[in-house]
Structure 1
């Protein structure tokens, strides 16, 4: 049961929204979404969480995974991500909206607030425990008219379509074919899309024969159940360095076992960043230019044992070809230690082609450095679309869709 030690729920909610608007790096804002988040009581959808936790800007787990090494099965999304994804969705009063990933029911309540009395909201989840939870909280808070269905979100809910808006609150590796027929042409789809080891909230506009993005923002979500096109494996004998890639990529981890024990090649650029400045756009540019782009993670023990530190040990972009690998790295500039630090961006390569791969990463660092806020355009086409009908860019084929990433 929620408990509080001072401020009212309304005060805590307003403080949270104020902080989101002040600190949000997405650059997105919609007064209607702001009003919805100031109105709908998040703590009422998290009755077992302390009220201060309900109004902290963080995700809250509502169903743990029995596998202690795995991610939770369901959680309430971080509020600032909820905010900018709803802005991306641009819900209008009277819209018919479909949500994949019911969670706590909170997001469905926000959607209902945005659609108004004349609109319709349907939320679904494959997990019956999750939909039962969402049904209880929605009913308890006056949202009995929100539909809650238990099914695989990839199937959609054709009986309530066509939809003006669709939103996924789980990480998707593919865009299911059923969605194309259920989302009206001219409608919008917002989805945390995963490719080449990264995840972005992509806002698509549905056009004839394709969906084209107009907003691509950083996010992280639990992956949807049932899409298993991502691969991962350790590339060292001590199981400290792990690689993540897509099934359409030619990555053989066993070829890299010896690479990290060989001499390294470090290449620096003239590009620097501040201590809180995101350089994640480098990864996006790599995914639009280099088919070999994937993700590397390194445990602290790997760095302590002599591995050159990845820019972000928990997740950094890498290029892999055969028995060679390179990845993004950084190093503090030799400036006065009393001033705010800045960091050089560069790349480190291992293996016979490591130096070449590092140079290719640096080329994209420089391209990003000259246009740091530029976003790629992600265009999705049905899987049977011929090459001649695709936009220019890097093509990534999935079972249901062909993605083109371009700048």
Structure 2
């Protein structure tokens, strides 16, 4: 049972929403979403979590994975991400909404608040334990009219009609073919889409023969079960450095083991960032220009030993070609004592083509720097769309969709 010795649930909820609006992490707002988040009690969907934790701006695990090295099986999403994805979705009164990933039922309750009594919300999950939990929480909180179904979200739910809005709260590597037939032309799809090692909440508008984004925001979600097109492996003998890439990329980790032991090439740019400034757009630009783009992670031991220092050790962009690799890095600039620290961006390369790969990363840093908030346009086409019908940009092929990433 929720317990607290401090403020009331209403005060904590309003404080959380105030904090989300003040931080404005995605630069998106909608008063109807704000009203819904002030009205729907998140703590009531997390009855075993202390009140302060229920109203902290963080995700909450509701079903652990029995594999201790694996991610949890289900989570309540971080509230600021819930907020901006609902703004991206732009739900209207009376809409028919389909949600993939039932979670606690909280997001479905927010969706029902947004659709009103004239709308319909269907939420689904492949895990019967998750849907049973969501059903109990929704019933206990006056949302008995939200439909909860247990099935693979890739199959959608055609028995409930054509959808005006669809939203996934799990990371998707592909856009299933069934979704194309179930989302109305003019409708909106918001999905945490994964490509080239990154994950972004992409808001698509459904057109006749394609879906075209109008918003791309940074996010992180548990990957959906059943889409296994992502690959990962260590590239050093000490298992400190790991790569993540897509199955359509010809990356062979074993070819890189010798490269990491060779002298490195470092290329710097004049672009700098402060401690709280994002350089996320560099990765997005790389994914729109370089087929070799992937993700690198370095464990603390590699960083502390001075062996490898990606700009963000937990997830940074890299380029890999054959037996060569380069990754984004940064270093603190010289400055007067007391000034806010600045960090210049550059790239580190290893292997025969390491210097060239590092320079190619720096070229995208230089392209990003003058307009750091620019977002790519992500256009999705059915998998059988011929090349001649695709927009200009980097093409990424998936089993059910062809993605084009362009600036």
TM bucket, shorter chain: over 0.9
* 1:305 Cα deviation after fit: 3.4
* 1:4 Cα deviation after fit: 1.1
* 1:385 Cα deviation after fit: 0.1
Question: Aligned partners of 2:83 and 2:4: how far apart in 1?
Answer: 24
Partner residue in 1 for 2:140:
140
* 1:307 Cα deviation after fit: 1.7
3-state DSSP of counterpart to 1:296: strand
Question: Aligned partners of 2:223 and 2:130: how far apart in 1?
Answer: 15
> Structure 1 length normalisation: TM-score?
0.99
3-state DSSP of counterpart to 2:223: coil
Instruction: Extract unaligned runs of 5+ from structure 1.
Output: none
The C-alpha deviation readout for 1:241-289, integer Å capped at 9, x for no partner, is: 0000000000000100111100100000000000100000000000000
* 1:96 Cα deviation after fit: 0.2
Question: Aligned partners of 1:304 and 1:281: how far apart in 2?
Answer: 27
Question: Aligned partners of 1:159 and 1:68: how far apart in 2?
Answer: 38
The question of whether the paired residues in 1 share the 8 Å contact of 2:298 and 2:308 is answered with: no
* 1:384 Cα deviation after fit: 0.2
* 1:336 Cα deviation after fit: 1.5
1:299 equivalent to 2:306? Answer no
1:57 equivalent to 2:66? Answer no
Instruction: Extract unaligned runs of 5+ from structure 2.
Output: none
Partner residue in 2 for 1:67:
67
Question: Aligned partners of 2:188 and 2:15: how far apart in 1?
Answer: 30
1:177 equivalent to 2:177? Answer yes
3-state DSSP of counterpart to 2:371: coil
Question: Aligned partners of 1:207 and 1:3: how far apart in 2?
Answer: 48
> Structure 2 length normalisation: TM-score?
0.99
The question of whether the paired residues in 1 share the 8 Å contact of 2:93 and 2:115 is answered with: yes
The question of whether the paired residues in 2 share the 8 Å contact of 1:20 and 1:80 is answered with: yes
Question: Aligned partners of 2:143 and 2:379: how far apart in 1?
Answer: 35
* 1:161 Cα deviation after fit: 2.1
Cα RMSD over matched residues? 0.6
Question: Aligned partners of 2:110 and 2:153: how far apart in 1?
Answer: 19
The C-alpha deviation readout for 1:108-151, integer Å capped at 9, x for no partner, is: 00000000000000000000000000000000000000000000
The question of whether the paired residues in 2 share the 8 Å contact of 1:260 and 1:307 is answered with: no
Partner residue in 2 for 1:322:
322
1:45 equivalent to 2:45? Answer yes
The C-alpha deviation readout for 1:64-111, integer Å capped at 9, x for no partner, is: 000011100001000000000000000000000000000000000000
The question of whether the paired residues in 2 share the 8 Å contact of 1:161 and 1:183 is answered with: no
Question: Aligned partners of 2:188 and 2:178: how far apart in 1?
Answer: 15
3-state DSSP of counterpart to 2:217: strand
Question: Aligned partners of 2:114 and 2:77: how far apart in 1?
Answer: 18
3-state DSSP of counterpart to 2:311: coil
Question: Aligned partners of 1:300 and 1:267: how far apart in 2?
Answer: 23
1:208 equivalent to 2:204? Answer no
1:261 equivalent to 2:261? Answer yes
Question: Aligned partners of 1:161 and 1:258: how far apart in 2?
Answer: 56
The question of whether the paired residues in 1 share the 8 Å contact of 2:173 and 2:195 is answered with: yes
* 1:306 Cα deviation after fit: 3.6
Q: What is the total number of aligned residue pairs between the two structures?
A: 407
3-state DSSP of counterpart to 1:370: helix
